[in-house]
Amino acid sequence: MKTIQNILRNTTLKKHRGLLCIFWIGMFSFSGVSQNSLETLVTSVSERLQGTITDSVQLYSDAQRAVRLSEQENSEELLATSYHNLATWHQGNRKIDSSVYYLEKANQLYKKLGLEVLQAETHLTLEDTYKQNSAFGKALEEDFKALGIFEKLENQAGIAKTYTRICDLLYYQQKYKEGADYCQKAIDILQPLNMPEELALAHRYKADNFLILGQYKDALSEINTAINVLQEAGKDQNILAPNYNTRGNIYKYMKRYEDAIAEYQKCYNIAKEANDEAALIAPLGNIGHVYRLQEKYEEALPYTLQAIDIMKRSGLNRNLFENYMHASDTYAALGEFEEALKYERLFSGERFKNLQQTISQLESELQIKYETSKKDETIVAQSETIDKQRRTQLLYIGIAILLGIILFGMYFTIKNNRKKRKALAALNAELAQKQTALEQSNSKLKDSLDELKATQAQLIQSEKMASLGELTAGIAHEIQNPLNFVNNFSEVSNELIEEMNEEIDKGDMAETKLIAAALKQNLEKINHHGKRADGIVKGMLQHSRKSTVQKEPTDINKLADEYLRLAYHGLRAKDKSFNATLETNFDETIGKIEVIPQDMGRVILNLITNAFYATNELKNSTVNSEFKPTVSVTTERIPSLEPASGKGVTNEEKASKGSVIISVKDNGKGIPKEMLHKIFQPFFTTKPTGEGTGLGLSMSYDIVKAHGGELKVLSKEGEGTEFIIILPNSD
């Protein structure tokens, strides 16, 4: 038959089509299908859909063939079952709208045939299909349709099963109290019936609702009842596994962590024994979560990572973003902030991907409906063709029949082409609308990006101006001291000149010489303090030069000491009441190292300013009058531990190439543990609004990293914070 169809499609054999059509119709007249073989085909498809599907394409082909043959034999019962089989296949392949389409066709036939139980069961299948697509309102409508039929038939088992389905739907709609009530209705009906799996399911769903309501003891009682029912009925472990998982969740919320892990371990062992890798995901993720709640982060991490690995490998990534979030939080708690940032980015990407998939799914529904309507038209057209062939079989008269078929074929082709052109025009219009919407969206995104870049530039400039303000206040204080000396000695010198003139008039040369000597000392002091002010100005000009990428040998001890004083005097200039103990411990063996002094000075100034801010905050908020704000700056050279290469480089030379550590430590409030992994993120700040841009530590981190170094933080809440700069010693 396929060979004949292929010949008919061959455009080079148009002149032979008439004879071939007659031959085909003749064959069709004698190719009947027995009722027994059709029933066997339909039953085979149903059984294969219930088992493990090994060849999905062949199964779909057989299901379609069963529909066609059922239509030929005019067997409405088998046709309804075949439609139901096609719906089941589409549901398994996530083609929701196609599944709904065939279920509704099956339901129409069941209603026509008066098969009310099958009609109700089809409504329940429709409910499950809508639930998979998160259309909970439509799903609930189907449940109540099924419930109405079962109540009319007084079918107690069907009523109870529907109550359980309604309970599950209300859970997803966050109506937990109503859901628990429906579960209890199902339990009341099922208790005298011998349906252990349905009874256990109702108890488990009721436990899920009680868990969300915070009624942990009631939830535990319900799940224990469910497990006892299944165990007494001798059900295998695969059926018990979801109940163990629910009991583990209840123990977790009751903070009975060891009991929770034991339940999850049962689920893990069952899945492992069944070689069901997908079933391993939930217990692995849950065990990792429990360990994280116990702050056993090193034990939690392998379980979380293994769950992520299985989800990525198997493609079952529905909740992958949650495990990415747990991995990020665990790494952060372990102080591995780079890994934490990596998984936080994976979490953001996966979450965004899920949202995109949801949007794409909604957009594709229109296309699916369109394709479904086309399939319906095709089926109707095929039915009309078959009816036409059956009618023409009785009028098997050569040329007349041939002309009729040719004319019908031409008409059908023209009609089909018109429909295709209309459909194509509609699709083109829809695509044009989507393209316009996409262009508008891209334009809005570009405007938003430009605005974000401008805001970022303003914030960075604000941070630089804040640093400049700190420097200016410090410089003003540094220059003020020598200027005071210059002013004082100038006034004294004017008085000495007046006294010297008086002594000259008296002719007392001895006294005149003494005054001249004192005047000379004053002028030397004025010169000394003037040079001191000049040195301060030159030093500041050196640091305010435009920053370049060129490194230069820099005395890191001098740089740190200078910015410590500038930061302190800058804060004192703003708050006269502020005082702090400054401690320095500089390693004089460091010498000069290659850095960009302006950039590194900015980092040191930022860290010291933050330290002063933290100690001042604690001083203002504490009632302890003995608290003394203390900020210490320490430098240290750490020799390299690598052995000499043996190519003319001594161990002493190798040791000089180690690292230089700059530590800024305070005894302020400290940083909360949950914020430690965020402090280097741009725009993150704990200061009140208007007192910080949140870019200081982020810029400092980038500057140190650009020098090939590291910026680390050690903090304990209530005791203080230490920032450590580690730079390569490349002198």
Give 728's strand partners.
659
Q: Which residue has the higher pLDDT, 370 or 207?
A: 207
Residue 24 lies in a domain: no
Residue type, 188: D
Residue 383 lies in a domain: no
Residue type, 302: P
User: Do 552 and 616 lie in a common domain?
Assistant: yes
Residue 45 lies in a domain: no
DSSP at 648? S
615: left (phi over 0), alpha (psi -120 to 50) or beta: alpha
Rounded Cα–Cα distance for residues 588 and 433 (Å) = 72
Residue 441 lies in a domain: yes
User: Do 569 and 686 lie in a common domain?
Assistant: yes
User: Do 609 and 690 lie in a common domain?
Assistant: yes
Reading the block at residue 74, the tokens are 């005019």
Structure confidence at residue 278 (pLDDT)? 84
Domain count, the chain: 2
Rounded Cα–Cα distance for residues 525 and 489 (Å) = 7
Domain termination site, one of 523, 540, 557: 540
Structure confidence at residue 378 (pLDDT)? 57
CA angle 584, 585, 591 (to 5 degrees): 115
User: Do 711 and 603 lie in a common domain?
Assistant: yes
Mean pLDDT of the chain, nearest integer: 79
105: left (phi over 0), alpha (psi -120 to 50) or beta: alpha
Going by C-alpha positions, the residue among 490, 620, 597 that lies closest to residue 551 is: 597
Tokens 């349905």 locate to 198
Distance (Å) of CA 97 to CA 46, 53, 361, 364, 366: 20, 21, 11, 10, 9
Tokens 């200027």 locate to 483
Structure confidence at residue 8 (pLDDT)? 29
Going by C-alpha positions, the residue among 98, 96, 124, 97 that lies closest to residue 110 is: 124
Tokens 């009842």 locate to 225
Residue 416 lies in a domain: yes
Structure confidence at residue 595 (pLDDT)? 93
SS3 (DSSP) at 421: helix
User: Do 668 and 565 lie in a common domain?
Assistant: yes
Band the pLDDT of 112: cuts 50, 70, 90.
confident
Rounded Cα–Cα distance for residues 206 and 186 (Å) = 10
Domain, as residue range, for 710? 548-639+650-728
User: Do 411 and 475 lie in a common domain?
Assistant: yes
Reading the block at residue 271, the tokens are 């899945």
Rounded Cα–Cα distance for residues 567 and 666 (Å) = 14
Residue 474 lies in a domain: yes
Checking if the pLDDT of 18 tops 70, the result is no
Give 75's strand partners.
none
User: Do 513 and 483 lie in a common domain?
Assistant: yes
Reading the block at residue 186, the tokens are 């199902």
Taking a C-beta distance cutoff of 8 angstroms, is the pair 724, 714 a contact? yes
Residue type, 189: I
Rounded Cα–Cα distance for residues 215 and 538 (Å) = 73
Tokens 């139901």 locate to 84
Reading the block at residue 30, the tokens are 């004698």
Reading the block at residue 75, the tokens are 């067997």
Task: Find the radius of gyration of the CA atoms of the chain.
Answer: 42
Share of residues in the chain with pLDDT > 90 (%):
30
Taking a C-beta distance cutoff of 8 angstroms, is the pair 139, 130 a contact? yes
User: Do 532 and 578 lie in a common domain?
Assistant: no
Secondary structure string (H, E, C) spanning 124-184: HHHHHHHHHCCCHHHHHHHHHHHHHHHHHHCCHHHHHHHHHHHHHHHHHCCCHHHHHHHHH
User: Do 456 and 558 lie in a common domain?
Assistant: no
Residue 329 lies in a domain: no
pLDDT tens digits, 171-203:
988 999 999 999 999 999 999 999 999 999 999
Q: Which residue has the higher pLDDT, 550 or 656?
A: 550
Tokens 């060849």 locate to 55
Structure confidence at residue 17 (pLDDT)? 36
Band the pLDDT of 340: cuts 50, 70, 90.
confident
Residue 396: Cβ within 10 Å count = 12
Specify which of 310-324, 390-404, 474-488, 554-568 reaches the highest per-range mean pLDDT: 554-568
Rounded Cα–Cα distance for residues 709 and 223 (Å) = 56
174: left (phi over 0), alpha (psi -120 to 50) or beta: left
Residue 18: Cβ within 10 Å count = 16
User: Do 511 and 574 lie in a common domain?
Assistant: no
DSSP at 545? S
Domain termination site, one of 540, 575, 609: 540
User: Do 584 and 610 lie in a common domain?
Assistant: yes
Rounded Cα–Cα distance for residues 64 and 77 (Å) = 16
Band the pLDDT of 353: cuts 50, 70, 90.
confident
Rounded Cα–Cα distance for residues 599 and 697 (Å) = 13
Checking if the pLDDT of 360 tops 60, the result is no
Domain CATH for 705: 3.30.565.10
User: Do 518 and 560 lie in a common domain?
Assistant: no
